[in-house]
Amino acid sequence: ETGVTQSPTHLIKTRGQQVTLRCSSQSGHNTVSWYQQALGQGPQFIFQYYREEENGRGNFPPRFSGLQFPNYSSELNVNALELDDSALYLCASSLPLGEQFFGPGTRLTVL
């Protein structure tokens, strides 16, 4: 059974640029959630996708957007990057209301 994978592992961008982060769900899972974790803080919920539709959103601006594909893999897109967007981005796959399985994260640095 393949676990949750994320790419890339690390990424450096400059302010104003756009970034796309990718996540492959664990086999059989149709729900994916994205979280942002700033240094020294707990993960903060960004949004969740279920069967390719957004199914809940946290307190993040519209420049954070996502996609879920028919194979349940997912992308997180962030436009107009700001310095405060520097963080570890985590995705988690699950069945609806089930235990969430997290990937190792993508470390984004915005300069």
Partner 1 sequence: DAKTTQPNSMESNEEEPVHLPCNHSTISGTDYIHWYRQLPSQGPEYVIHGLTSNVNNRMASLAIAEDRKSSTLILHRATLRDAAVYYCILRVEKLTFGTGTRLTIIP
Residue for token digits 């640095």? 109
Q: Is 31 helix (H, G, I), strand (E, B) or coil?
A: strand
Q: Which CB sits closer to partner 1, 15 or 43?
A: 43
Q: How far is the CB of 14 from partner 1 (least distance, A)?
A: 25
Q: Which CB sits closer to partner 1, 84 or 99?
A: 99
Q: Of all helices (H) and strands (E), which one includes residue 101?
A: strand 101-102
Q: How far is the CB of 15 from partner 1 (least distance, A)?
A: 26
Dihedral angle computed from the Cα positions of residues 57, 32, 65 and 79, in that order, rounded to the nearest 10 degrees: 120
Q: How far is the CB of 102 from partner 1 (least distance, A)?
A: 3
Site residues for partner 1 per CB under 8 A:
4, 33, 35, 40-45, 48, 55-56, 58, 90, 92, 96-105
Strands 19-24 and 5-7: antiparallel
Q: Which CB sits closer to partner 1, 13 or 101?
A: 101
